[in-house]
Amino acid sequence: MEAHDRPSRDGIAAAARRHARLLVHGGTVITPGGAERIDVACTDGRVVALGALRATWSADVVLDATGLHVLPGVIDSQVHFREPGLTHKETFEAGTRGAVLGGVTAIFEMPNTDPLTLDEHDLRAKLERARDRAWCDYAFYVGGSAVNAERLAMLENLPGCAGVKVFMGSSFGDLLADDETVLRRILRHGRRRMAVHAEDEARLRARRALVEASGDVRDHPRWRDEESALAATRRIVKLAADAGRRLHLLHVSTAEEMALLAQHRRRVTVEVTPHHLSLVAPECYERLRTFAQMNPPVRERRHRDALWQAIRDGVVDVLGSDHAPHTREEKARPYPQSPSGMT
């Protein structure tokens, strides 16, 4: 932002002198400097002034925020909307409207829709669907896989592309990239920071019999255990270092991963989700059953405590919702036929 574009701190903005479309008054405003008791003036969707404005500014609408906190709009860096292909779960319009109602003003949407988002045609189709239907800003990830690895350097720079997302586990078809040769190909093509869902697919397949036999959702974190997450995270961090590539690790869920990632701050950024920060096993599965089922799973208290400590230590860079809706009927299926995902 150029200096002349910055909101005025003395109550006078060049673009709108002493009159605004909206004046938010009396609230505690969260700014880069911390929490301040100041007013906010907005015109044409932009903040034009911050300060003690009530006495010197008029506005078409004055909003009394006394006793409330006023925050900037949130960017949600991981959502799974269900359009195209699964619109009985959620449409793009419904998802973005829900985002705005929750204070989210921009979203990055993931590629595991139907069809998968793997090429420029898929990306353009999503952008066309979103046009004139979105309630917030948006960008779409392209999936990195064996079928498009050599084209990712081009795809990641297309307008509307949030970047490349790789599923090392917990995916299907052409979107699954669990083979080391494929991962090396993906890492070689492109320069942008690559987002990764890190679970070890081979270990997940080998351990699935644990839950097939029990049918107990409380075994979800036993099946998708700490080693399934740590092995994949350790593997992709090493491969990225070999390729000179930067990573963004999504929904990190274990204490062991955080200890590892604390050693790789220059190369890897880290996301955690509200679910992993607020829920704990086994209580969440006993109370919510399959409605607490997500991948990677909600784990025991020591992992939740480690995630909070990683936030305090600056290891965590991003909180992302991992919004992934299903119908109530789908979530109520017997485990493990029930789909993973929370909202």
Flag whether pLDDT at 28 surpasses 60: yes
313 and 289 fall within a common domain: yes
CA angle, 157 then 160 then 166, to 5°: 65
pLDDT band at 230 (very low <50, low <70, confident <90, very high): very high
The CATH number that applies at residue 29 is: 2.30.40.10
pLDDT tens for each residue of 273-317: 999 999 999 999 999 999 999 999 999 999 999 999 999 999 999
Percent of the chain, pLDDT > 90?
Answer: 91
Predicted pLDDT of residue 13: 45
149 and 237 fall within a common domain: yes
CA angle, 91 then 94 then 99, to 5°: 125
26 and 159 fall within a common domain: no
Flag whether pLDDT at 15 surpasses 60: no
Flag whether pLDDT at 16 surpasses 80: no
Is there a contact between 277 and 309 (Cβ–Cβ < 8 Å)? no
Flag whether pLDDT at 12 surpasses 80: no
Residue located via tokens 């990055």: 108
Q: Give the strands of the sheet with 34-37, arranged side by side.
A: 34-37, 28-31, 69-70
Phi-psi label, residue 159: left if phi above 0, alpha if psi -120 to 50, beta otherwise: beta
pLDDT tens for each residue of 111-139: 999 999 999 999 999 999 999 999 999 99
> In which element (H, E) is residue 186 found?
helix 180-188
Q: Rounded distance, CA 70 to CA 195, Å?
A: 30
pTM over 0.85: yes
326: domain range?
Answer: 74-331
pLDDT tens for each residue of 242-284: 999 999 999 999 999 999 999 999 999 999 999 999 999 999 9
Q: Kindly state whether residue 167 falls inside one of the protein's structural domains.
A: yes
The CATH number that applies at residue 268 is: 3.20.20.140
51 and 103 fall within a common domain: no
128 and 53 fall within a common domain: no
221 and 260 fall within a common domain: yes
Is there a contact between 189 and 152 (Cβ–Cβ < 8 Å)? yes
Domain end point (choices 47, 70, 93):
70
Q: What is the mean pLDDT of the chain?
A: 94
10 and 54 fall within a common domain: yes
The conformation of residue 107, written as its DSSP 8-state character, comes to E
34 and 180 fall within a common domain: no
50 and 146 fall within a common domain: no
Is there a contact between 252 and 261 (Cβ–Cβ < 8 Å)? yes
Residue located via tokens 């069809």: 115
126 and 236 fall within a common domain: yes
Secondary structure class of 110 (helix, strand, coil): coil
Flag whether pLDDT at 183 surpasses 90: yes
Q: Kindly state whether residue 337 falls inside one of the protein's structural domains.
A: no
Q: What is the mean pLDDT of residues 66-93?
A: 96
Q: What total of structural domains would you count in the chain?
A: 2
90 and 47 fall within a common domain: no
pLDDT tens for each residue of 200-224: 999 999 999 999 999 999 999 999 9
Domain end point (choices 44, 70, 96):
70
224 and 139 fall within a common domain: yes
Predicted pLDDT of residue 8: 55
Domain end point (choices 48, 70, 92):
70
